[in-house]
Structure 1
Amino acid sequence: MFFLSEKLEFPPVEEANMEGLLAVGGDLSPERLLLAYRNGIFPWFSEDTLILWWSPDPRMVLFPEKIRISKSMRKILASNRFKLTKNQKFEEVLLQCANIARDGQEGTWITTEMQFAYKRLHRQGYAVSYEVWENSNLVGGLYGVDLGNVFCGESMFSKTSNASKFALIKLAGELQKNGYKFIDCQLHTKHLESLGAEEIPRTQFVKLLKGKN
């Protein structure tokens, strides 16, 4: 296991264990977080552990052009039910993602330390949020780290049916229009798979991330 020091570095992602755990320790400074994301690494830990850094194999990604939109969602998209904004309520989206109840999960990995770190990234223009509104109420949203050609999705929440799907579909459309390569979804979930996300080998993920075909 690689223990990080104050030096701004990570070991090669190939050194991660079978579960994808690569390194322990370090800090959540904007510089270290951006270095991590640019190399296919992300933090994921709970309140009572050290900072854990991961690079799983395979990796879950969503290519924007492959977003899967059901007939029912097409009807919602064509209606005026939801409205989308960007970076209007970043801290609120962050807090909602941390507090939303999730099946099979106790507590949250979006710790107080993590919230502080992503607020700093937001102030620097890297961490962004998308908010979904219904009748002037915030009912869903997502946030992540924008690398300029890859969007690293971190978390989403929904207080009403289809709100987070709406956000992800709108995000995919925007990213496709602007030539982004993919959305990094990190780990497999059936929900993401139903929306078109897929697992690819880490070697392929890193090549795409670094601009190598």
Structure 2
Amino acid sequence: MGRPAGPPSEPPPSPWARGLAAARSRLLAAGAPGEEVAGAGADLEPGTLLAAYRLGLFPMGLGDGGADPLGWWCPDPRGVLPLDALRVSRSLRRSAARFEVRLDTAFDAVVQACADPSRPGRWITPAVARAYGRLHRAGWAHSVETWRDGRLLGGLYGVAVGGLFAGESMFSRASDASKAALVALVGLLREDGEPRRLLDVQWRTDHLASLGVVEVPRAEYLRRLEAALPLPLPPAWGGPPRARDQGG
């Protein structure tokens, strides 16, 4: 699996950053159970997306199927996967070994597969796909892909900011292909032994719960986020190498 030459560079600051922070503050102050949307509008430029993730927000359309208008979500409770709680059955371990895992070699193809209009609950619009493509080319968004015999069979994509990996979506064209990508992602995030890394999956589903995803209150998620953001990126995406890799 190849690694980038170095960490990403910071994009120009977003003119929407203060508005997003104010919208989150209003949401937290309201304290309404189940209220998940901090606000609507803004843009999908790299600086805006990064400002949102650092606040615990992520974009998703408010219309049917994730269509416009654009909303900024902060669920309560929040779905997270504790890195030491991933459930890998014996059969999944055997299945995962049959895939080749690659990083960032087919990011746009992964996003397009996740955006397949035949999938129920599709929310990745062309504008969203383009936005994450820009974020990927800037070094912040990444794909974990599972391949076999030269065919892309599954994968996931998300955003890495410090010790946060915000998972956005996953897809599978073969049994266990997306699960194998998730297993690989957790391995990458655990590579340096840093326990404060945070794997955000937005919402808990029955499928994700079977793999170890749990729900945490929004306030707890934001505390974990605050602890994770100052951490270096994982070694796979430009962070410092593991101590045993540094020579000497």
Match for 2:112: what amino acid? L
The one-letter code of the counterpart of 1:26 is A
Structure 1: state its 5+ residue gaps: none
Q: Structure 2 length normalisation: TM-score?
A: 0.77
Amino acid at match of 2:172: S
Q: Does 1:96 align with 2:113?
A: yes
Per the alignment, residue 38 of structure 1 pairs with: 54
Q: Structure 1 residue 195 and structure 2 residue 211: aligned?
A: yes
In 2 relative to 1, CA 33–50 (structure 1 residues): closer, same or farther, beyond 3 Å? Answer: same
Alignment of 1:48-127 (within 5 A): 48-77=67-96, 79=97, 81-99=98-116, 101-103=118-120, 105=121, 108-127=122-141
- Partner SS, residue 17 of structure 2: coil
Distance 1:166 1:100, change over 3 A: farther
Instruction: Show the counterpart of 2:6.
Output: none
State the SS of the aligned residue for 2:215: strand
- Matching residue's letter, 1:138: L
2:31 and 2:168 mapped to 1: Cα distance? 20
Which has the larger share of strand? 1
TM (normalized to structure 1)?
0.89
Match of 2:8 in 1: none
Q: How far 1:6 sits from its partner (Å)?
A: 5.1
Aligned alpha-carbon RMSD (Å): 1.9
Aligned length: 203
CA distance in 2 between partners of 1:167 and 1:127 (Å): 15
Unaligned runs of 5+ in 2: 1-13, 229-248
Deviation at 1:50, TM superposition (A): 1.3
Q: Deviations over 1:106-160 (max 9, x none)?
A: xx21101101110110011000001110111100000000012110000000001
Once the two structures are TM-superposed, the CA of residue 57 in structure 1 deviates from its matched residue by: 0.5
Query: In structure 2, how many angstroms separate the alpha carbons of the residues matched to 1:16 and 1:102?
Result: 33
Partner of 2:39: 23
Identity of aligned residues (%): 41
CA distance in 2, matches of 1:48, 1:101: 15
Quick check: 2:99–2:147 contact (8 Å CA) kept in 1?
Answer: yes
